[in-house]
Amino acid sequence: MSSPRQPNPTEPMQRISIIAATAILILALLFTSYGFFERKAILKYGRDAAAQIAERTALTGAAAFDAAQQLLAAMNLLVNPPVRGTTADPELVDLALRRLKSQTPHILDLAIISATGKATVWTGSGAPPSIIDRDYYSYHANNLNSTLFIGKPLLSRVKPERRFIAISKALRDEQGNLTQVLCIIMDVSLLRDYLGQRFAIPGSTQLLLDDKGEIYTRTPDFEQYVGKTILHPEQLETLSTTTPTAGFYVESALDKKERIVEFQKLTGYPLIAVGTISVKHLLAGWTQRLQVVILLWGVLSLCIILVARRALAISRKQIQQANTDGLTGIHNRRSIMRCASDMESSQQDTGLLALLMIDIDNFKRINDRFGHPTGDTVICAVAEMLRNSIRSTDIVGRYGGEEFLVLMPDISREGAQIVAEKLRLSVAAELLDPIPITISIGVAMMNRIDQSLEQTLARADSALYQAKADGRNCIRHADDSTSPTNDEQSTRTT
The model's pLDDT over 286-334, given as tens digits with 9 standing for 90+, comes to: 999 999 999 999 999 999 889 888 888 887 787 777 788 989 999 999 8
Report the first-to-last Cα separation within the chain, whole angstroms: 42
Exposed (0-12), middle (13-18) or buried (19+): which is 157, by Cβ within 10 Å?
Answer: exposed
Mean pLDDT score, 458-471: 94
pLDDT recorded at residue 163: 78
Burial string for 452-484 (b: 16+ CB within 10 Å, else e) reads: ebeebbebbbebbebbbebbbbbbbbbeeeeeb
Are 465 and 442 in contact, with CB atoms under 8 Å apart? yes
For the chain, the 3-state helix, strand and coil shares in percent, each to the nearest 5, are: 45, 20, 30
- When comparing pLDDT for 148 and 351, which is higher? 148
pTM of the full structure: 0.60
- What is residue 385's predicted lDDT score, i.e. its pLDDT? 93
Most confidently predicted of 168-172, 189-193, 418-422: 418-422
- pLDDT of 487 over the 50 cut: no
Mean predicted confidence (pLDDT) in 123-152? 82
Please give the average per-residue pLDDT across 378-389, as a whole number: 94
Residue 294's pLDDT is what?
92
What's 316-347 look like in SS3? HHHHHHHHECCCCCCECHHHHHHHHHHHHHHH
pLDDT score of 95 more than 80: yes
pLDDT for 461 beyond 90: yes
Other C-beta atoms closer than 10 Å to the C-beta of 302 total 11
Q: Is the pLDDT of residue 92 over 90?
A: no
CA of 443: how far to CAs of 332, 459, 475, in Å? 20, 8, 7
pLDDT band at 235 (very low <50, low <70, confident <90, very high): low
Residue 89: pLDDT band (50, 70, 90) is: confident
pLDDT at 421: 94
Give the model's confidence band at 383: pLDDT under 50 very low, under 70 low, under 90 confident, else very high.
very high
Of 119-123, 132-136, 205-209, 253-257, the least confident: 253-257
Quote the CA–CA distance of 423 and 442 in Å, as a whole number.
12
Least-confidence region, from 64-73, 150-159, 422-431: 150-159
- With CA atoms as reference, report the closest residue to 402 among 388, 386, 417: 386
d(CA 37, CA 391): 61
Highest mean pLDDT out of 92-106, 320-334, 475-489: 320-334
Per DSSP, the three-state class of 166 is strand
User: What is the DSSP pairing of strand 107-114 with strand 475-477?
Assistant: unpaired
Query: Mean pLDDT throughout 366-371?
Result: 92
Question: According to the per-residue pLDDT averaged within each range, which of 91-105, 168-182, 226-240 is highest?
Answer: 168-182
> Which strand (E) or helix (H) includes residue 300?
helix 284-323
CA atoms within 13 A on the CB side of 48: 6
Strands (E), 81-210: 107-114, 119-122, 148-150, 154-155, 163-172, 178-187, 204-210
Percent of the chain at pLDDT > 90 equals 29
Mean pLDDT, the chain, as a whole number? Answer: 82
Check residue 271 and give its pLDDT. 86
* DSSP bridge pairs for 271: 210
